[in-house]
Every structure is written in structure tokens, then in C-alpha cells.
Amino acid sequence: MLIIGIAGGTGCGKTTVVNQLIEELTLDHVGVITQDSYYNDLSHLSYEERVQVNFDHPKAIDFDLLGEHLSRLKQGHAIEQPVYSFTQHNRTGETLMTEPRKVMIVEGILIMTNPMIREMFDIKIYVHADSDERLIRRLKRDINERGRDIEEVLYRYQTTLKPMHDQFIEPTKEYADIIIPNNKYNTVAIDIVRTIINEKIQ
């Protein structure tokens, strides 16, 4: 099994890159794990308390469960990936059965901050977009898709997103084997990574 980690700041385009990569591939060969599924279970907190959580700090992620799931997939077992709700800021209680594939893609802002998880990646990719571009994309996406308003996004950006990005996420760029510049859609980079994946699954 080839495990590809795709990191980068919020709004850089990780999900979009993953969708572009798998677009022309058979899903029998490629599987996707998203870090969002591994936000800590916050069922013990009220909604008002969950809103206050810093979701951009490595401590927000259940890396033990993510590591256990990746190990099980590597051993050829299926896993139950928790389903996460961004509107509720919590796991939904549902799970998504995820079968092992020849290529597993793991994407998320913080996945390369954890040494144990980082070690499990055969290829590490960092998607880069400038911070103003990421903020604009995040504003549009969170308002349109995640039930937020402009005040919420800007407040979170100033208080947690930017400081956490600078402290934890941007420094993981140094671990990357490949950096994809993504201020604009980058079809050349997508083709290159897809070629690597295709070689593995032939």
C-alpha cells in the first residue's frame, strides 16, 4: 500500500486537489481518509463550549485513532471512519466503512505535525496558496457550506487560524517531498502526482 499525505493551510485546496487526483482513477484502487474525521469526540461538551475549541491546534486531533486506522488499513483490514459535522463541531455518531486500497490518500491541515503519522506517509505533499487567497476561499466556503457568517470566520481567522497556521502548519512544508503551488488551478502538478499513483496501481 502507498500512503500519500496531503497537507496545507485551510482553504489552500487540499480537498479540491484530492478530488482532481481521483477523478480519473478507479475507486477500487484509491481510498481517501480525511483528517476532519479524526477531530476529537466532543460529545461531553455543550454546543456553546464546542464553538470555543481551537480546531487548528494539533491537540484537536485524535492522532492515536488515525494512526491505528492507518495501521489496520496497511494490514489489509477495513476501518470505520468517523463522520464529522462542521455545523455541530462534533462527530455525528455515524461511521463510513473504508476498505484498504493500493493507494490511500490522507488529507488535512495538521496531518504532518505528528511525527508518528508523518512516518507512515510514503509521499508527503504540501499544497500552498497565499494567505489572502486562502482567507477569501475560506470565507466563501464557510458561509456557503458550513453555516458561518463573515464575523465568525474573520474572528476565528485572527484569533486561531492565522497564529496556528504560522506556528504549526506552515512549518510542516519542510517535510514535503512535493509542494503544489495552488494560487491558481495547477493541472500540471495534478498530472504529475496522478502519474505516480498510476504507476503504483498498474
Ligand X SMILES: O=c1ccn([C@@H]2O[C@H](COP(=O)(O)O)[C@@H](O)[C@H]2O)c(=O)[nH]1
Binding site for ligand ADP (CB under 6 A): 8, 10-16, 137, 141, 182, 184-185
**Residue 49 Cβ vs ligand ADP, minimum distance, rounded to whole Å:** 24
Q: Which of 56, 61, 81, 112 binds ligand X (CB under 6 A)?
A: 56
DSSP state of 61: B
Q: In what order do the strands lie in the sheet with 103-107?
A: 30-34, 103-107, 2-7, 123-128, 178-181
136 phi/psi in degrees, rounded to 5: -60, -45
Instruction: Give the separation between CA 32 and CA 98, rounded to whole angstroms.
Output: 8
Instruction: Give the separation between CA 155 and CA 177, rounded to whole angstroms.
Output: 33
5 burial type by CB count under 10 A (0-12 exposed, 13-18 middle, 19+ buried):
buried
Nearest residue (CB) to ligand ADP, 77 versus 85:
85
Q: Which of 89, 118, 162, 194 binds ligand X (CB under 6 A)?
A: 89
CB 29 within 8 A of CB 133: no
**Residue 191 Cβ vs ligand X, minimum distance, rounded to whole Å:** 23
Which of the listed partners (ligand X, ligand ADP, none) does 55 bind, with a CB threshold of 5 to 8 Å by partner kind? ligand X
Which of the listed partners (ligand X, ligand ADP, none) does 16 bind, with a CB threshold of 5 to 8 Å by partner kind? ligand ADP
Q: In the complex, which residues of this chain contact ligand X (CB under 6 A)?
A: 10-11, 14-15, 36, 39, 55-56, 86, 89, 109, 161
